[in-house]
Amino acid sequence: MTPSNTHSEDLLVVQDLRVTYRGLRGSVLAVDGLSLSIAAGEAVGLVGESGSGKSTAGLAVMGLLPSRNAVVTGSVRFRGEELLTVSPEKMRGLRGDSIGMVFQDPMTSLNPYLTVGAQVMETPVAHGMSKSAARSLALNLMETMNIPAAQDAFHRFPHHYSGGMRQRAMTASAFSGDPALLIADEPTTALDVITQDKVLRLMKEELKRRGMALLLITHDLGIVAGLCDRVVVMKDGRGVETAPVERLFTRPVHDYTKRLLAAVPRVDTPMPAATDQPGAVGGGPAAGHGEKPTARPVVEIKNLTVEFTSGKNVVRAVDDVSLSIFPGEILGLVGESGSGKSTLARAVAGLITPVRGTVEVLGRPVRPRDRRALKEARRHAQLVFQDPRGSLNGRLPVEAIISEPLRNFGLARGKQLLERTRELLDIVRLPGDWATRYPHELSGGQCQRVGIARALAVNPDVLLCDEPVSALDVSIQADVLDLLKDLQERLALTIVFISHDLAVVRQFADRVAVMCEGHIVELKPAAALYATAEHPYTRDLLAAVPIPDPTKYRL
Amino acid sequence: MSILKGNNHVSVRGVAPWRLVICRLRRHRLAMAGLGLLVFMCLFVLAGGCLVDTRAEQTRLWVGARPPGFSHPHCQAEMIFEVGGVAPLAGKPARCERLVYECRPVVWREFRIVTRRGEIQSITEGATSLDELDLSTLAGDVFERLEGNVDGRRLPKVKLVRGERPADGMFADGQRVLFAGWRETGQLERVSVRLVNQRVTEIRAGVGTMIPVNRRVVRGHEVEKVIGDGKELRLTHPLGTDELGRDMLLRVVNGGRVSLLVAAVATTVSLLVGVSYGAVSGYAGGATDAVLMRVVDILYGLPFIFLVLVLMVVFNRNIILLFAALGLVQWLTMARIVRGHMMSLKQQEFVEAARMGGASPFRVVFYHLLPHALGPIVVYATLTVPVVILEESFLAFIGLPVQFQGTTLDSWGSLVHMGMAGLGEGGQKWWLLVFPSLAMVLTLFGLNCFGDGLRDSLDPRQT
């Protein structure tokens, strides 16, 4: 990219930033000549997929990279002062006071042994403010960030806070030094849509009021559209395109930006082809999917209640849910985290024992205590997991992972086993000779394909997909969704698709069930749900989804 | 089926995680140094005995504790050669056809001193009576002679005159005492023995012209030189000898075998029992876990030394029992460590995936989960070995060395114990303590370095 014009009033100027990580197998160039500038009060988005080097760039600007493993070259100037060569004492002075940072994970970036209030007032105290002044400032900030009962919350510990509250506290702590620049690294990725919307709105308001500049590092183009003035798109450590936000979303120049924008599922575009060609979906058994399914359901859930006990607390994760899933359909299951959607899937798979109610797969009840019946049920209903890497045993090669169910169910052995493994790899569009690779050598998308191949090994009728794409980048997400759709048609699968991403579900599912606090609050064909949502919760959910278009979505 | 075997697919063959571990381990200099040291110590313990003649472990009282590098002629305490009889030899000299012993016989001078009423009444040497006896000019020390030709206390160097009182405290009043002074004669004597198939066919003895004799006694402490088939036969002691003249190198090697064996067996017991116990407990959770872990808590409560002492007193100091006792104590910590790891591991998604894939609980625990806990298991095992060696040493040190079929076995611990006892006031006999300690320290150092490096290599964040 062309070096940006370095105006004298620019707050932060990054020029030709290069970061090299030294590893066991040689060095990795994580950031390769990135240049960007941020004017005072400007919000700049740094977007890119995982591994593009955006987080590393953010850490390099703050001087937070371990000097032992990372070599940083180039120039980072803040108010004309070079940060890469500045003394550690000076840098500490700048951090918090002039540059604030909000990290991705609100769970781990707060110290669990200190009260939240103490952590919010830490920065001003470290920069010489008196304790009482810092306390009132921190309280004030926490109130501004809409933390309920701030007086009381001040003295509470991070584990008393919900995820959204924690992130708000983190933001409050970043604001506490009244910095000129805020670097936010995926600030809302760990949050639910509705919470995300709230946090972002608060953040935006506060930035505007203080005239603070923002460097927003994110993979979510929707958030960028809503929050930023200018966008830098990163790929493989390079900034491939820099443009004002309106231009980027209307007339992207670089191929990569175009592809990225095209891959993002949206809730605002006209309904995709799914409703136009319903026949394509029911490729398997003649299934009357759509509004009035007439066939016998493959999965029948009746009055299912699941409870978790921790100490004396009883949490009802799924509360009296009844649901029928019909052959050949794709049922979307959406809701915030903690709404019980994953628990429901696990109860269907027999991994969790329900308190009440029954689950029947192909007319046979699933009883977790009856091992034989359970094994039989699992031959017909399989699960695809959320974490592509965590769901694969890292010590085993791909072939062992895929052939594990074949072996355990006694479906194949010897030569047959190898053939079937290869066939499965072929089905999920992975080269057959990757069988000897290990999960750590595969990308997230490839890992998820292996996970799907494993689930398909027993030729199941129902595939329960628990957030199968939420851990993947947008472009890979599209590939995996495409694969799932293709498999559903070719193998006559019934798919239960769980996701917190309403845009993905809209694009993918035939029917959508919305879950909230263990209940199904709305169940409708996809087109109908997105057009005429009835339940207020569904409406809130839909309204909070960021749309990658600054003309339609602006915070 | 070229997925597995085809050579043309080498380029895409996956790299197993354990290969990466080995790769990282190879780059870990300290760990490799530790491993080298460990291998060296194992080789030393296994093959170190070849460095010296195995007969060097025999007791040779007259040699006593000698410093490293000391060499002395190979001979036994007392050998009786008789023409036509079997030569009382072992090992190499038995294969010789001609042996020559150069001896410097020690002559006993025996004095008889009679005291009465506090005064010396008579002094006699053999049949001749003396008027006075100058003990201070005698070449060797003079000892009190007790019954059965046993040396008693050493007597002061004084002059005894008939009719005078002996020095204070020299004799009990009215006692008649026999003394003996001894010293070497200057003349070398030779004994030449001819052997055929270990049988003595001819013996010649004497100075100058060798006279054939039928029977000859050769005493070990008199021998200056042994020549077998023209070659001088000597025993060298690179690490010196102990107070009974036994070679220290052999003792350290034998002690190492016992120490390492105890360590290996106890660690294996701790691995087998502790890992399966902890894995089952951690994976099962709930009531099963609670019961299993309470058993561990109770066993933890028993004092280890007390347990071992009771076992040893009741069942004698059998080596098998020591293995059992040490292993039974060590597995407790291992079980806790593995349980902890299992509890966090079982919450990962791949466990649910394995269950979905129809894997039995046994398979989930031992095939899917255990390999992930391998890191801490291996590291703790390498740390167990030194602990066991030290515990065995401690037992030996407090006087409970390992026994096997009634004989006490050396171990590094017992050698250090003996070394400390026989060190001497100014530490003159330092080699008795230094070499067993050094062997132990080197082994433990190597193990700790290796274990540390292994832990680093098994940690994926380490680069």
Question: Using CA atoms, how far apart are residues B122 and B143, in angstroms rounded to an integer?
Answer: 18
**Torsion angles phi and psi, residue B270, rounded to 5:** -65, -35
Residue A16 above 50 pLDDT? yes
> What's the rounded mean pLDDT across residues A268-276?
56
Q: Which residue of chain B is at minimal alpha-carbon distance from A438?
A: B14
Segment among A291-295, A350-354, B188-192, B321-325 with least mean pLDDT: A291-295
What confidence tens digit (pLDDT) does each residue in B203-227 have?
988 877 788 888 888 888 888 888 8
Which letter does DSSP use for residue B367 in this model? I
Chain B nearest CA to A334, separation (Å): 21
* CA-based end-to-end distance of chain B: 36
What confidence tens digit (pLDDT) does each residue in A350-406 have?
888 899 999 999 888 888 888 888 888 899 999 999 888 889 998 889 999 999 999
Task: Tell me the CA distances in angstroms from A226 to A140, A159, A232, A551, one per residue in order.
Answer: 26, 30, 15, 9
Listed residue (A266, A287, A268, A265) closest to A278, CA to CA: A287
pLDDT confidence band for A303 (50 / 70 / 90)? very high
CB contact under 8 A, A24 and B23: yes
Answer for the pair B402, B392: CB distance below 8 angstroms, yes or no. yes
Residue A283 above 50 pLDDT? no
CB contact under 8 A, A383 and B360: no
Question: Using CA atoms, how far apart are residues B38 and B42, in angstroms rounded to an integer?
Answer: 6
Structure tokens at B23: 């790769």
How many pairs of residues across A and B have Cβ atoms under 8 Å apart?
A: 105
pLDDT confidence band for B186 (50 / 70 / 90)? low
Chain B nearest CA to A163, separation (Å): 21
Surface-to-core class of residue A527, CB atoms within 10 Å of its CB (0-12 exposed, 13-18 middle, 19+ buried): middle
CB contact under 8 A, A433 and B3: yes
The strand pair at B98-103 and B223-228 is best described as antiparallel
CB contact under 8 A, A69 and B27: no
Q: Does A346 touch chain B (CB under 8 A)?
A: yes
Number of Cβ within a 10 Å radius of residue B462: 12
CB contact under 8 A, B358 and A409: yes
- 3 state DSSP class of A173: helix
Answer for the pair B292, B343: CB distance below 8 angstroms, yes or no. no
Structure tokens at A251: 């007339």
Chain B nearest CA to A409, separation (Å): 6
> What's the rounded mean pLDDT across residues B97-112?
81
What confidence tens digit (pLDDT) does each residue in B439-462 have?
999 999 998 899 888 888 887 654
Question: Who wins on pLDDT, B131 or B288?
Answer: B288
Structure tokens at B244: 């009974």
Listed residue (B241, B274, B283) closest to B59, CA to CA: B241
Question: Using CA atoms, how far apart are residues A500 and B369, in angstroms rounded to an integer?
Answer: 30
**Of B9, B359, B463, which is closest to A433 when you measure between CB atoms?**
B9
Number of Cβ within a 10 Å radius of residue A413: 12
Q: Does A391 touch chain B (CB under 8 A)?
A: yes
**Torsion angles phi and psi, residue B117, rounded to 5:** 55, 40
Residue A290 above 50 pLDDT? no
Task: Tell me the CA distances in angstroms from B15 to A438, B22, B23, one per residue in order.
Answer: 7, 11, 11
Q: Does A382 touch chain B (CB under 8 A)?
A: yes
> What's the rounded mean pLDDT across residues A479-488?
91
Chain A nearest CA to B377, separation (Å): 16
Return the pLDDT at A288. Answer: 40
- Most B CBs within 10 A among A387, A398, A404, hence the mutation to make, goes to A404
> What's the rounded mean pLDDT across residues A432-444?
85
| Helix, strand, coil percentages for chain A (3-state, nearest 5) | 35, 25, 35
Residue B236 above 90 pLDDT? no
Question: Using CA atoms, how far apart are residues A431 and A399, in angstroms rounded to an integer?
Answer: 12
**Of B24, B355, B363, which is closest to A351 when you measure between CB atoms?**
B355
- Most A CBs within 10 A among B12, B19, B349, B365, hence the mutation to make, goes to B349
Sequence-distant (≥ 6) Cβ neighbours of residue A93 within 8 angstroms: A127
Q: Does A164 touch chain B (CB under 8 A)?
A: no
Return the pLDDT at A267. Answer: 81
pLDDT confidence band for A193 (50 / 70 / 90)? confident
**Of A385, A404, A436, which is closest to B14 when you measure between CB atoms?**
A436
pLDDT confidence band for A282 (50 / 70 / 90)? very low
Chain A nearest CA to B29, separation (Å): 14
Return the pLDDT at A213. Answer: 93
Listed residue (B266, B391, B386) closest to B330, CA to CA: B266
**Of B15, B350, B355, which is closest to A438 when you measure between CB atoms?**
B15
Task: Tell me the CA distances in angstroms from A357 to A304, A360, A375, B40, B48, one per residue in order.
Answer: 4, 10, 20, 66, 73
Surface-to-core class of residue B182, CB atoms within 10 Å of its CB (0-12 exposed, 13-18 middle, 19+ buried): middle
Q: Which residue of chain A is at minimal alpha-carbon distance from B360?
A: A408
Answer for the pair B437, B445: CB distance below 8 angstroms, yes or no. no
Rounded mean pLDDT of chain A?
A: 85
Answer for the pair B352, B437: CB distance below 8 angstroms, yes or no. no
CA torsion angle B312 B316 B318 B322 (round to 10): 0
Sign of the torsion angle spanned by Cα atoms A395, A399, A400, A401 = positive
Question: Using CA atoms, how far apart are residues A201 and A91, in angstroms rounded to an integer?
Answer: 30
Answer for the pair A466, A386: CB distance below 8 angstroms, yes or no. yes
Q: Does A390 touch chain B (CB under 8 A)?
A: yes
Listed residue (A477, A529, A496) closest to A341, CA to CA: A496
Answer for the pair A244, A230: CB distance below 8 angstroms, yes or no. yes
Q: Which residue of chain A is at minimal alpha-carbon distance from B2?
A: A433
Question: Using CA atoms, how far apart are residues B437 and B442, in angstroms rounded to an integer?
Answer: 8
Q: Which residues of A210-222 are buried (b: 16+ CB within 10 A; e: fewer)?
A: eebbbbbbbbbbb
Return the pLDDT at A275. Answer: 43
* CA-based end-to-end distance of chain A: 29
**Torsion angles phi and psi, residue A226, rounded to 5:** -80, -25
- 3 state DSSP class of A288: coil
Number of Cβ within a 10 Å radius of residue A354: 25
Give B360's contacts in chain A (Cβ within 8 Å). 408
Q: Which residues of A436-455 are buried (b: 16+ CB within 10 A; e: fewer)?
A: bbbbbbbebbbbbbbbbbbb
Mark out chain B residues that contact chain A at CB-CB < 8 A: 1-4, 6, 9, 12-18, 20, 23-24, 27, 348-350, 352-360, 363, 368, 371-372, 463
Q: Does A442 touch chain B (CB under 8 A)?
A: no
In the block, residue with structure tokens 């749900």: A529
**Of A391, A434, A435, which is closest to B353 when you measure between CB atoms?**
A391
Residue B118 above 60 pLDDT? yes
Question: Who wins on pLDDT, B112 or A380?
Answer: A380
Answer for the pair A263, A477: CB distance below 8 angstroms, yes or no. yes
Return the pLDDT at A262. Answer: 87
* Radius of gyration from C-alpha coordinates of chain B: 33
Q: Does A70 touch chain B (CB under 8 A)?
A: no
Share of chain A above pLDDT 70, in %: 93
Answer for the pair B41, B256: CB distance below 8 angstroms, yes or no. yes
CA torsion angle B9 B11 B13 B17 (round to 10): 170
> What's the rounded mean pLDDT across residues A65-88?
87
Type of residue found at B270: S
Q: Which residue of chain A is at minimal alpha-carbon distance from B8?
A: A433
Segment among A267-271, A332-336, A356-360 with least mean pLDDT: A267-271
Sequence-distant (≥ 6) Cβ neighbours of residue B267 within 8 angstroms: B327, B330, B381, B384, B385, B388
Share of chain A above pLDDT 90, in %: 32
**Of A375, A387, A394, which is closest to B358 when you measure between CB atoms?**
A375
Q: Does A423 touch chain B (CB under 8 A)?
A: no
CB contact under 8 A, B17 and A457: no
pLDDT confidence band for A271 (50 / 70 / 90)? low
Q: Does A403 touch chain B (CB under 8 A)?
A: no
Question: Using CA atoms, how far apart are residues A117 and A114, in angstroms rounded to an integer?
Answer: 8
Residue B249 above 50 pLDDT? yes
CB contact under 8 A, B13 and A346: no
pLDDT confidence band for B2 (50 / 70 / 90)? very low
Question: Who wins on pLDDT, A190 or A347?
Answer: A347
- Check residue B229 and give left, alpha or beta (phi > 0: left; psi -120 to 50: alpha): left
Chain B nearest CA to A159, separation (Å): 19
What confidence tens digit (pLDDT) does each residue in B393-403 have?
888 877 777 77
Which letter does DSSP use for residue B371 in this model? G
pLDDT confidence band for A25 (50 / 70 / 90)? low
Residue B8 above 70 pLDDT? no
pLDDT confidence band for B132 (50 / 70 / 90)? confident
Sign of the torsion angle spanned by Cα atoms B150, B156, B157, B161 = negative
Structure tokens at A79: 């108010």
Chain B nearest CA to A53, separation (Å): 19
- Most A CBs within 10 A among B356, B362, B368, B461, hence the mutation to make, goes to B356
Give A421's contacts in chain B (Cβ within 8 Å). 3
CB contact under 8 A, B3 and A375: no
CB contact under 8 A, A405 and B358: yes
Segment among A292-306, A354-368, B160-174, B236-250 with least mean pLDDT: B160-174
Q: Which residue of chain A is at minimal alpha-carbon distance from B461?
A: A23
Longest Cα separation, chain A: 75
Q: Does the model's ipTM exceed the 0.90 cut?
A: no
- Most A CBs within 10 A among B1, B2, B3, hence the mutation to make, goes to B3
Answer for the pair A329, A360: CB distance below 8 angstroms, yes or no. no
Residue B318 above 50 pLDDT? yes
In the block, residue with structure tokens 């050669």: B81
Q: Which residue of chain B is at minimal alpha-carbon distance from A395?
A: B17
Q: Does A422 touch chain B (CB under 8 A)?
A: yes
Question: Who wins on pLDDT, A314 or A463?
Answer: A463
